[in-house]
Copies of this chain bind each other. A is one copy, B any other.
Amino acid sequence: MQGTQPQQRDDATYPPTERTVPTRSPGRASYDKELVHAILDEGYVCHLGFVRDGAPVVLPTLYARAGERLYVHGSTGSRPLRAARQADPGLQVCLTVTHVDGLVLARSAFHHSINYRSVVVHGTAYDVTDAEEKRQALDALVDQVVPGRAADSRPADKKELAATAVIRLDLDEVSAKLRTGGVNDEPEDLALPHWAGVVPLRKGYGTPLADPGLAPGTALPGYLTAL
């Protein structure tokens, strides 16, 4: 059928499911792929949840997005990666990425809040066994933290590749949730003498601290000065 049909285009949204539709503040939820991608691309640390012996476990770990796939890596001996390798068919996970943008201080304690953007991904994580996909995922994990860095470092050798496990989680059951804007006080509270407003949060980078043993003549690369 190739060539005879118009190219299949991805929908612009992820289909909502029972567990990606929030029970409260549904107006803060979004399934827009562009928004989800933007939130994911701005971060590099996620919180990965899985079930172990019936109990939840939540661990911070690095991630990378490549198209509609997320990758997480770790030692082949680490618990979630071992579990993903051993579980059939894969390991049920929930991967969450959160950016906090501001503190919302209302006149009433009840309406205090934060401005944030988060993405929650539900799904099954699979061990990546294809050597080329694994290499690309490892590059993506480095470039997610510092774009351009993977090409400016020594790639993993055979022994390092064998010691590293990579798991993949497809972006299928996904939602974003966000709060933006100012305070939402009750009308009867507006005359109260408490300051109200939003305190924006700022994130930034400090001056890079070079390793004392740099090879002579090694300059700070452009992708770091551009951060």
- Residues in chain A within 8 A of chain B (CB atoms): 19, 23-24, 44-45, 47-52, 54-60, 62, 74-75, 77-79, 92-96, 98, 100, 102-103, 105-110, 112, 114, 116, 118, 120, 122, 138-139, 142, 145-146, 149-150, 152-157, 160, 164, 182-183, 185, 189-211, 213-215, 217-221, 224, 227
Contact B218 A155, beta carbon cutoff 8 Å: no
Contact B182 A211, beta carbon cutoff 8 Å: yes
Known contacts A57-B94, A110-B156, A202-B206; 18 further A-B pairs (Cβ under 8 A): A23-B77, A24-B78, A51-B51, A58-B58, A105-B153, A108-B156, A109-B150, A112-B153, A182-B209, A192-B215, A195-B210, A195-B214, A197-B208, A199-B209, A200-B207, A201-B205, A201-B206, A202-B203
Task: Say which residue of B59, B74, B205, B210 sits within 8 Å of A200 (CB atoms).
Answer: B205
Complex formed: what's the CA distance from A55 to B185 in Å?
36
Contact A198 B190, beta carbon cutoff 8 Å: no
Residues in B with CB closer than 8 Å to A23 are 75, 77-79
**CB pairs A–B below 8 angstroms (25 shown):** A19-B52, A19-B55, A23-B75, A24-B75, A49-B56, A51-B51, A56-B57, A56-B93, A57-B122, A106-B153, A108-B160, A109-B142, A112-B142, A114-B145, A146-B199, A152-B195, A154-B189, A185-B211, A193-B217, A193-B218, A195-B220, A197-B211, A198-B208, A199-B209, A202-B203
